[in-house]
Structure 1
């Protein structure tokens, strides 16, 4: 029997859309049967997300994190029609218990697919970072509008006022983004190095084949008459 070949994709940094020198070895075979859970606690294997079509899969740190909340705020602005026209599936995966999904979606108005990996099996097997690394050359995320101090205060307030008080995941776990499918093809991978290291959404959409470009700026629009 022929030996299966693991999919290897190159990671694209936010500094450049050119591929960098190092490659990220992504073996979907290692995680395809890991269970993820929907908002009702119903489980499905991870491979169901990408086996029949191309999917953009976003892994977030935890639902209390202000930067993840603001990133998903912007993901919620992606029209369903744009995804449908490109035959693209958009999925967010968190690492909390499934009971936190509904409040998080209500907060962010996120209308697309969302699941959780409460044991962080997929995060760990794919090798996502469990620490934060900041560099002087890092570009600020276009999707995080709050400063770090203000954002942390918002996160603390949400934790204190949550009826399901807990940390909603490992506070040290970073997320990432994959474009995978159909089947075990991996087209792109980015593993976040810190809470602000999200892949710009328009880049992800363009890499996945979505033609529409969205404006995620929080600056007021000037209407010329």
Structure 2
């Protein structure tokens, strides 16, 4: 899809934050008639400059309350089997990315960025995991569409997001920097999956949640790095993630 930069100041109201046909929908579009089918570019990934408002990311001194909360969380694999969240890093180190939702265009870019480092993660014995707030069916569609190289799990109850106290809300979803990133991603060929985005659970819950990235293990209490997005598309520096997981 070609985009004229001269048209950017007059973007439709849906880009400013709300789709007029679906006023509760927390997503972005850059045209009045957004594409209904995802399309992905094979071009090399572009790393966005780290924003000054980047979310918290640091070595973590794990509290008993956090590990206790995470220990109660279950996610679901692509076969629908329940898996304790902490089992994902009990016997190994893992980079765990939490997506806003499975249709999110910003999350698909982040998934590609992390997957570009999977060879180095494999060499260091580190697992790459992505969790999304949605159903197992949505998780399967995400894998089918993106060909994501890591493990994918669904969190239909949003339990992991609540345990980690991720940011949620309209003001953290619709920001100028997120809008500019979405324009760039569309120009690269990425697309929001509108079928997934318009499903009720995503529209009313998951679409307002921000995600993050966690590096943990081996050992359920061994959380060494945690980034919480302050806004949609608040990507941490990939070098910080690799330093935490693989050095």
Q: TM-score, normalised by structure 1?
A: 0.69
Following the alignment from structure 1 to structure 2, what is the Cα–Cα distance between the partners of residues 102 and 95?
13
Task: Select 1:186's aligned residue among 223, 243, 246.
Answer: 223
How far the C-alpha of 1:115 sits from its partner, in A, is 0.4
Secondary structure in structure 2 of the residue aligned to 1:57: strand
Compared with structure 1, are the counterparts of its residues 52 and 114 closer, same or farther at alpha carbon in structure 2 (3 Å cutoff)? same
Match of 2:147 in 1: 109
Following the alignment from structure 1 to structure 2, what is the Cα–Cα distance between the partners of residues 39 and 110?
13
Following the alignment from structure 1 to structure 2, what is the Cα–Cα distance between the partners of residues 197 and 36?
24
Following the alignment from structure 1 to structure 2, what is the Cα–Cα distance between the partners of residues 93 and 150?
23
- Alignment of structure 1 residues 1-225 onto 2, 5 Å: 15=52, 27-79=66-118, 81-131=119-169, 132-133=171-172, 146-147=182-183, 154-155=191-192, 158-160=193-195, 166=199, 169=202, 170-183=206-219, 184-209=221-246
How far the C-alpha of 1:33 sits from its partner, in A, is 3.0
Answer 1 or 2: which has greater helix percent: 2
Secondary structure in structure 1 of the residue aligned to 2:207: coil
How far the C-alpha of 1:116 sits from its partner, in A, is 1.2
CA contact (8 A) 2:120 2:246 kept: no
Following the alignment from structure 2 to structure 1, what is the Cα–Cα distance between the partners of residues 218 and 61?
19
Compared with structure 1, are the counterparts of its residues 20 and 101 closer, same or farther at alpha carbon in structure 2 (3 Å cutoff)? closer
Compared with structure 1, are the counterparts of its residues 116 and 20 closer, same or farther at alpha carbon in structure 2 (3 Å cutoff)? closer
* Misfit runs of 4+, over 3 Å: 13-17, 23-26, 148-151
Answer 1 or 2: which has greater strand percent: 1
Structure 2 gap segments, 5+ residues each: 1-49
Secondary structure in structure 2 of the residue aligned to 1:193: coil
Q: TM-score, normalised by structure 2?
A: 0.64
Secondary structure in structure 1 of the residue aligned to 2:83: strand
CA contact (8 A) 1:159 1:167 kept: no
Compared with structure 1, are the counterparts of its residues 177 and 149 closer, same or farther at alpha carbon in structure 2 (3 Å cutoff)? closer
Compared with structure 1, are the counterparts of its residues 197 and 130 closer, same or farther at alpha carbon in structure 2 (3 Å cutoff)? same
CA RMSD across the alignment: 3.6
Compared with structure 1, are the counterparts of its residues 30 and 202 closer, same or farther at alpha carbon in structure 2 (3 Å cutoff)? same
How far the C-alpha of 1:139 sits from its partner, in A, is 7.7
Secondary structure in structure 2 of the residue aligned to 1:103: helix
How far the C-alpha of 1:200 sits from its partner, in A, is 2.9
